Amino acid sequence: MSRMRYFDGPDTVRRARQCLDDAGFTLDAVTERLGTHAFAHLALGELAPLLRATRAGDRLDTLLRLFVVGVPVSLVEARAALTPLSVEGWETGGVVAVDAAEVTSRIAIRPLGEPADWLIAHDFARPAETAIAGDHVLGVSASTMALAGATIRRDISTAFDLGTGCGVQALHASVHSDQVVASDLNPRATACATLTMEINEVSNVAIRHGDLFGPVDGERFDLVVANPPFVISPSHRYLFRDSELAVDELCRQLVRSAPVLLTDGGHCQLLASWAHVAGEDWRDRLGTWFEDTGCDALVLEREALEPSAHAASWLRQTEPPGRWQPEYDEWMAYYELHRIEAVGFGLITMRKRAAGSPWFRAEEASQDWSMPCGDHLGAAFELADFLDGSPGERLFDVALRVAPDVVLDERAQPGPDGGSEPRGWLVTDRVLRQTAGLRREGQVDGVIAAIAAACDGTRPLGAVFAEIAAAAGTDASDLTRAALPVVQRLVERGLLLPAVG
């Protein structure tokens, strides 16, 4: 199947970009003109605030109405705003349609902002009362930005963006990768992604059409990222949302197939959904996905929704009200058939091992993450390597330090009446908490809090334990049995780190 494209080549795209640049079409300008809630209004189909904000009708207003709000403008306004490329040039390029005295954009062009003044080409959001096409190309969604913010960003040779959509993940990967391949089954998505690359003058991303790993058969990558159609439902209507495979089988197959594409030490990161099946622990069920893959795996479950909430959420986003009830009943019957008690959603991160025994960890991670957090995820694998190399009491030979983004929160309540002594406060709860990245937490008692405080990176952990045991009048071996596993867990979660240098 031949791939669609917008415009006739990079030279014409550069003229289109000049038009947008000359008008100050940037994220800052959009936010200043339309307000900080502009994209929330768009997602909900609330155009009135955006039309009022662009009523003055200057050049930027016209471009915002065309490419962000998605409403027609007059031909006279369009001719003035779209220069140096003529309206006819935009029309021939497939970006706008001209109908009598009006011009309408066929696609949205959205400023993305940092780390550059990027522009993203995609389809407009669905009006509230209408259906969207099966080959609809999503724009910059919450999941898009979540994956971009959680991706491990290290200088690498090669990256692969599977199911690129409008090209956001490939665009981010282009900054720290020598070469990027981005593919999609949807020809309209590859057209949008091609325009996204060309309008940003990104030359190290190759856009390919095809399904799953077919477009990169035999190639190897240091990073694979994917935001696949992970929604668990009986529907096969939308390429961006639905899989032909049952339940969560697509995500399982991606996990099983990704390792052959990875270089040793390479990472695969994907957003995924998985079923919580009656009578099965979701962690045990997911653990089977990674058996014999040769990869370490960290699964972070961001949420687990009841089937009714999962169905309602996606139907609300994709279907007009008239299709709601029959669709909802079909979805709920599907969940009952497959004994699905909840639908989990989260981030899977894998690392291909060159040697040694792979590990698997799955944890609930519904806390707010501070983006970007890719460095924290990368560190999780490095800290696992460190603990493998310092098992048990061998950790006593290492100097540890509290991670720079960690604080100790304490909760206290009034203590017992002290008679003639002033009544004080009794600490009832202590939590070590990250203030950046994954923002993990670890509940500790007074002894562990004291050990953590003494870990200043200047002396080995064994000396810290000896000091704390002496101060508490506790047998050192008893302290080791009770506290060492907790300290290891704090290291695993990045709350304590090996000292550098």
User: In this predicted model, what pLDDT tens digit does every residue of 191-250 receive, in sequence order?
Assistant: 999 999 999 999 999 999 999 999 999 999 999 999 999 999 999 999 999 999 999 999
3-state secondary structure (DSSP) of residue 208: strand
Mean pLDDT of 263-279: 98
Count the Cβ atoms, other than its own, within 10 Å of residue 187.
16
User: CA–CA distance from 249 to each of 138, 238, 268, 330, 363 (Å)?
Assistant: 22, 17, 17, 19, 21
Q: Is the pLDDT of residue 336 over 50?
A: yes
Q: Is the pLDDT of residue 166 over 80?
A: yes
Structure tokens at 132: 């969207």
Give the residues across from 274 on adjacent strands: 344
Q: Is the pLDDT of residue 55 over 50?
A: yes
For the 390-498 domain, the top CATH level (class) is alpha beta
Cβ-proximal residues to 438 (8 Å cutoff; 6+ apart), any chain: 300, 365, 367, 369, 373, 376, 377, 494
User: Residue 116 has what pLDDT?
Assistant: 81
Q: Of 197, 193, 200, 141, which Cα lies nearest the Cα of 164?
A: 193
User: Residue 114 has what pLDDT?
Assistant: 74
pLDDT in tens, 429-470: 999 999 999 999 999 999 999 999 999 999 999 999 999 999
The torsion defined by the Cα of 465, 469, 474 and 480, in degrees rounded to 10, comes to 0
Q: Is the pLDDT of residue 3 over 60?
A: no
Q: Is the pLDDT of residue 269 over 90?
A: yes
Instruction: Decide which of 500 and 188 is more confident.
Output: 188
User: Residue 2 has what pLDDT?
Assistant: 40
Q: Does domain 142-386 have CATH number 3.40.50.2300?
A: no
3-state secondary structure (DSSP) of residue 347: strand
User: Residue 418 has what pLDDT?
Assistant: 64
Structure tokens at 259: 């390792």
Say if 142-386 and 390-498 have the same CATH topology: no
Q: What does the domain layout of the chain look like in residue ranges?
A: 10-106, 142-386, 390-498
